[in-house]
Amino acid sequence: MFPTMIGTVVIAGIVGYLAERSNFTHNGILQSIIICVGGAFLFYFVRLMFGIGFGSAGLNAIASSVGALIIVPTHWRK
Tens-digit pLDDT profile for residues 37-77: 999 999 999 999 999 988 888 999 999 999 999 888 766 55
pLDDT computed for residue 77 by the predictor = 58
pLDDT computed for residue 1 by the predictor = 77
**Could you state, in order of their start, the residue ranges of all structural domains in the chain?**
2-71
- In the predicted structure, residue 78 carries a pLDDT above the cut 70: no
pLDDT computed for residue 62 by the predictor = 93
Instruction: Provide the residue type at 20 as one letter.
Output: E
- CA nearest 47: which of 31, 36, 58? 58
pLDDT computed for residue 16 by the predictor = 94
Q: Is 64 exposed, middle or buried (0-12, 13-18, 19+ CB in 10 A)?
A: buried
pLDDT computed for residue 34 by the predictor = 94
